[in-house]
Amino acid sequence: MEKINYSVLMSVYYKENPEWLDLAINSMLNQTILTNDFVIIKDGPLTNELDDVINKYLLKYPNLFNIVALEKNVGLGAALKIGVEKCKNEWIARMDSDDYSIPTRCEKQLKRIIENPNLDIVGSCIAEFEDNIDNIRAYRILPENNEEILNFSKKRNPFGHPSVMLKKSKVIEAGNYESWHLCEDYELWVRMIENGAKCYNFKENLVYMRVNDNFYKRRGGIKYLKSILKLKTHLYRKRFFSFKQYFISSAAHIFICLLPNKIRVILYKKILRKSVKS
């Protein structure tokens, strides 16, 4: 297979779990095609335990890691914006600090990119797990081809953020990441799609995403609701949504965000995801 170098981009802040961070980094170092540029943005001062994890890998792979320490916490969107600029390769594999990538994730994505050089975003479906990767609770099924992704994006986020491999030049061309609370990825995808980006999702689970009570709580409440409604209104005003799409998607988010968390968990697992039993 033609060789393509790629960067890995991860952001870490002080509330992360060091064991989960260790698993996430290790999963990217166990790829069948290894990165030559692993960028970690320390989004503000970290705990000693988190620093210990990062320093362990930095000592073991001194020429692989590029650690960027920010003086204060700026949020995921602003941190990733800096991270994209620091990545030295054209292709960037995003990875969250508490998830797990299967060993062949990047190899599969790079092969798809070589076969389809017009692609700009390549993601995958996602297995959501609790505690450990053997405890899968649900599957996030996402649209596969470019047209399906475009149509899906009029309703919901068409990509799992930690699963994507991005073309750096296209990200920069679209304006790079911006600060949108829990919506920075969705907002970027829309700008890239509007700018002509071509997209693809694998119909298999290349990434395992960690879910727990906090995961569902973050997708409810007034703060997240204000952020997602602000984004939906912004997209409607720039005519990405029709009024019907804007009304339906906004009403759905209002309903979900205002539910008690226990009911929201059930809704996500039974309706918004494919259950393990099925």
pLDDT at 119: 98
* 141-198 pLDDT, tens digit each: 999 999 999 999 998 899 999 999 999 999 999 999 999 988 999 999 999 999 999 9
How far apart (Å, rounded) are the C-alpha atoms in residues 96 and 39?
12
Please identify every stretch of the chain with a pLDDT value under 70, giving residue numbers as ranges: 1, 213-214, 216-219, 267-278
Per-residue model confidence as pLDDT tens digits over 198-207: 999 999 999 9
Query: DSSP for the chain?
Result: -----EEEEEEE-TTS-HHHHHHHHHHHHT-SS--SEEEEEE-S---HHHHHHHHHHHHHSTTTEEEEE-SS---HHHHHHHHHHH--SSEEEE--TT-EE-TTHHHHHHHHHHH-TT-SEEEEEEEEESSSTT-EEEEE----SHHHHHHHHTTS--S-GGG-EEEHHHHHHTT-----TTTHHHHHHHHHHHTT--EEEEEEEEEEEE--HHHHHHTSHHHHHHHHHHHHHHHHHTTSS-HHHHHHHHHHHHHHHTS-HHHHHHHIIIIISEES--
Token readout for 37 is: 């540029």
How confident is the model at residue 278, as a pLDDT?
42
Phi and psi for 249 in degrees, rounded to 5? -70, -35
What value does the mean pLDDT of the chain take? 92
Give per-residue burial for 156-171: e unless 16+ CB within 10 Å, then b: ebbbbbbbbbbbbebb
pLDDT of residue 216: 63
Gap between the Cα atoms of 40 and 239, Å rounded: 35
pLDDT, residue 274, reads: 67
Number of Cβ within a 10 Å radius of residue 95: 27
**Considering only CA atoms, which of 187, 168, 180 is closest in space to residue 121?**
168
d(CA 66, CA 39): 5
Residue 198 near residue 146 (C-beta atoms within 8 A): yes
Q: Which residue has the tokens 């320490």?
A: 69
| Nearest-angstrom CA–CA distance, 270 and 274 | 7
71, HSE (Cβ side, Cα atoms, 13 Å):
0
